Amino acid sequence: MNKPTHIKPVLELKGLQKSFGDNHVLKGFDLRLFEGENLVVMGKSGSGKSVMIKCLVGLLQADGGSIHIRNHDITTLGQKELDVLRTEIGFLFQGSALYDSMTVRENLEFPLRRHKAKLNITETNEVLVLEALESVGLAHAIDLMPEELSGGMKRRVALARALILKPKIILYDEPTTGLDPITSNEIIQLMRSIQKKYGTSSLIITHDVDCARVISNRIILLIDGINYIEGTYEELIQSNDPEVKAFFKS
């Protein structure tokens, strides 16, 4: 396991717990994401991966444990402080979550309207939107509506929107789900190129083994609400643990 311990993590979860009634989804999940790292969290459908990532950005309230993002404990932050911290985090939703009443341009301008001045961004909206769209290869789609885009294009626009405020951390919730193998591969390559260009740290939630193999520096397997095992892709595929074997074989 090549887990760097000498540097401070940009994102840290300790003992995260979350239940829905009697359904205990997370039972003390731990995670540390380091600067410039691609950390993949894998697990079966319904294992609580999306719940974990939503707790991370404050969309869901954790029942227990601590969440530190860039030295801020988000469970103690007020709404204003949380909103400011959220500008440092890009989030790619599973279904892209583009605002369907707005054009691609307006979708990308939306985060700028509230935070551009606060973040001392001097470039015009036009320049920022075009730069983000060019980095995902979709500058020509600037005035299209989301309904006019294919699944892969939607995912790219959503990625451009996540990048528009130049975040330090990007969270990907199932980035390749629902896409064909060729488009999935394009999205994975795009994620890699974005990380190189912007130097971001990425937390990727997926059950796509190919995606994990190509992109991960480290993988955590989430089973029964805890981090069952952690390691590089090569370490995990050589594991003799039946659960890990079953997961990677499937």
Q: Which residues form the interface with another protein (CB under 8 A)?
A: 54, 57-59, 79, 83-84, 86-87, 89, 91, 93-95, 97-101, 110-111, 114-115, 161
Smallest distance, another protein to C-beta of residue 119, A: 10
Judge contact between 104 and 157, C-beta under 8 A.
yes
Q: Which is nearer to another protein, 85 or 226 (CB)?
A: 85
Smallest distance, another protein to C-beta of residue 136, A: 17
Tokens of 79: 């709404």
Question: Strand 89-92 relative to strand 169-173: parallel, antiparallel, unpaired?
Answer: parallel
Q: Which is nearer to another protein, 97 or 130 (CB)?
A: 97
Q: Which is nearer to another protein, 98 or 244 (CB)?
A: 98
Q: Which is nearer to another protein, 157 or 236 (CB)?
A: 157
Smallest distance, another protein to C-beta of residue 59, A: 5
The three-point CA angle 127-88-84 to 5° equals: 100
Q: Which is nearer to another protein, 94 or 103 (CB)?
A: 94
Helix, strand, or coil (residue 23): strand
- Residues with Cβ within 8 Å of residue 197, at least 6 apart in sequence: 135
Smallest distance, another protein to C-beta of residue 144, A: 17
Distance (Å, rounded) from C-alpha 148 to C-alpha 144?
6
Compute φ and ψ for 230, nearest 5 degrees. -140, 140
Smallest distance, another protein to C-beta of residue 246, A: 29
